Structure 1
Amino acid sequence: MFRPVRSRRSFEEAVAQIAEAVRAGDLPVGGRLPPERQLAAELEISRPTLREAVRVLREAGVLGAGPGFVQVASERIPEGVLEQRSAMRLEEVAKVLEARRLLEPRVAQLAGLYASDEDLEQLAQILERQRQAGGNRERVRALDTRFHLAIAAATQNQVVVELTRSLLRQVEIARDMALRTPVEPELVVELHQRTLEAIRGGDQAGIEAAMDHHLAHLERIWERESGRPRLRHPPDFLISRAGPHP
């Protein structure tokens, strides 16, 4: 019924595949979607990206929720509504990308001030596991999340951790796109290595530059793969003054 997502626009294809299964009668009204873990594995996308696709279909009235499961609520596929709601969700991602620029460089700089030896060791261990993950996209994605949360934890401020977790959850669609580009896992490791070295050295300018490169990379992928521009170009005060990106 479902096939692995090959397009880097994984969120939109997941919406389309589920809608097509309903339209074709493979998922009849009252029928249940496969469990989240199983369906994400069949589509070869992350579970957060699948949740976003399901959310769009629920808002459009195609899917409904039962006690602990998701079921088909209507066989009518409102194409215009689906496209509109998908577009709205993608626009939300663009807003989250902007919000990351407000928060994450400052979080990393705070970590550069307060990270303990244990925090730095934790970051190094995550980085090594990323190197070993190779082309395993799901593991690379999970470790990428863990790396950013470990930076937040190194600030010794739980509110910062929760804010970072919320941002990462909301930007999952863009991260899923990024991890489908051919060289992305290796580049993620390189960007994380730069960030860790700067945090370890307490190099505030270096931390800002490393985070700027990291965020700009994801933004460029987002624009290219989604076919959508960012909401607006980042103002100068949100861009590192350490020089142009390599």
Structure 2
Amino acid sequence: MTAEPRLVALLGPVRAGNAFEETVERLLQAIKLGVVAPGRKLPPERELAAQLGISRVTLREAIRALQESGYLDVRRGRYGGAFVVYQPPRPGPADLRRAVAEMGPGELDDALTLRMAIECGAAQVLATTELTEPQRALLSRRLADVNDAAPGDYRRLDTAFHLSIAELTGSPLLTAAAADARLRVTDLLNAIPVLGPNIDHAATQHVAMVDAILSGDPEAARRAVVEHLDATASLLRAFLA
């Protein structure tokens, strides 16, 4: 099994001096972002260890730690592997306030600013890129996936859509930065109920983003991302008011 590009970008080589801790962090990031969906398994041990640039012993220790923490279920045998069992918590007002409190003073605005800068930049770069037909089809497919998603799958597929914009630039560094920016607000977004009118509004904004990118208009792509992320920030603040 070959890993998706987003997973490759998230799970690049770790630093040798902090291999166990960073491996846990990288795997947890992929799980919490839904890059590896609930019920799916991580890439095979040999492939994943090589991708991370670590020993299989270190990888097994990291997987064991995540299994003990309730994120993975390790199954043995021919059809075994490390399966994701993490499910985002059901949203509620207390969860959102708790997530903000855990971020610390000022971190919410900082996280939203980081996301705005990275996602605007990624959309502008992609709009100036000559995309192949398979790349254009991938972006359109990710758009259809999120805009047609059931409420239970919405956040995961929304993440996949947003990360695909950075992914399609061909820059692993940009993809990793986009994933990091998204992860900083993931717990906040997961704590907001999936509301029909809001999702319909977001769908229109998603279409505007893709239309601008595919038509090669970087300024329109930037404006569409700003409108979309400003709306998301306003929704977050409304639930905190």
TM-score range, shorter chain: 0.5 to 0.7
Paired position in structure 1 for 2:120: 105
Paired position in structure 2 for 1:173: 187
Paired position in structure 1 for 2:140: 124
TM-score (norm 2): 0.57
CA distance in 2 between counterparts of 1:151 and 1:86 reads 27
Q: Residue 184 of structure 1: CA displacement?
A: 2.4
Encode CA deviations 1:4-28: one digit per residue, 9 max, x unaligned: xxxxxxxxxxxxxxxxxxxxxxxxx
The question of 1:35 aligning with 2:70 is answered yes
Corresponding pairs, count: 157
Which consecutive unaligned segments of at least 5 residues does structure 2 have?
Answer: 1-67, 72-83
CA distance in 2 between counterparts of 1:132 and 1:163 reads 27
Paired position in structure 2 for 1:222: 236
Residues 148-159 of structure 1: pairs in structure 2 closer than 5 A: 148-159=162-173
Encode CA deviations 1:151-185: one digit per residue, 9 max, x unaligned: 00121111000000111111113322455334222
CA distance in 2 between counterparts of 1:152 and 1:39 reads 25
Residues 1-246 of structure 1: pairs in structure 2 closer than 5 A: 35-36=70-71, 40=87, 43-45=89-91, 87-89=101-103, 91=105, 92-114=107-129, 115-133=131-149, 136-227=150-241
Asked whether the 8 Å contact 1:137–1:185 carries over to 2, the reply is no
Which consecutive unaligned segments of at least 5 residues does structure 1 have?
Answer: 1-32, 46-52, 54-81, 228-246
CA distance in 1 between counterparts of 2:123 and 2:177 reads 13
Q: 1:179–1:157: structure 2 CA closer, same or farther, 3 Å change rule? A: farther
TM-score (norm 1): 0.56
Query: Residue 44 of structure 1 aligns to a residue in which SS?
Result: coil
Q: Which protein, 1 or 2, shows the higher relative CO under an 8 Å CA cutoff with sep ≥ 6?
A: 2
CA distance in 1 between counterparts of 2:112 and 2:171 reads 22
Encode CA deviations 1:223-245: one digit per residue, 9 max, x unaligned: 11122xxxxxxxxxxxxxxxxxx
CA distance in 2 between counterparts of 1:90 and 1:179 reads 23
CA RMSD of aligned residues (A): 2.9
Identity %, equivalent residues: 19
